[in-house]
Amino acid sequence: MKRNPRKTRWTKAFRRANGKEMAQDSTFDFERKRNRAVKYDRELYMTTLKAIKKVQDVKEKRESQFYKNRMSAVKAKRKEEKLKDLKQNIDLIRPAPVKAKEEVKVQQADKMQEGN
């Protein structure tokens, strides 16, 4: 069965279309293959290694920021769900001041019964 890859959740096309994949990041351009033969040059070699380390650091930083931005919406959504659940089941929870007042009333009732 043929399907549109942008609608199938596990495809790269879906992930790119819905902002789940970092496809637009410029650090991916450094990882492309280059088919040119280059003569060995120690200085070029060292600068390339330094550049690779810098690019890797930038890439990791961007990925973590991308993840944090995506998960911030999830955090807010979870908080809303918890609040909704609390509102629906508020009768299961009694606040501490109410409990204290009830205990005082029970103690007073016990004293009154003892006094009579």
Domain ranges of the chain: 1-34, 38-115
Mean pLDDT of the chain, nearest integer: 83
Q: How far apart are CA 111 and CA 103, in angstroms?
A: 12
pLDDT tens sequence across 33-67:
677 777 788 898 899 899 989 989 999 999 999 89
Average pLDDT for 14-20: 83
Average pLDDT for 66-71: 89
Q: How far apart are CA 66 and CA 27, in angstroms?
A: 14
Handedness of CA 59, 61, 67, 72 (dihedral sign): negative
Cα 104 to chain center, whole Å?
Answer: 46
Share of the chain above pLDDT 90, in %: 16
What confidence tier does 116 reach under pLDDT thresholds 50, 70, 90?
low
Cα 56 to chain center, whole Å?
Answer: 22
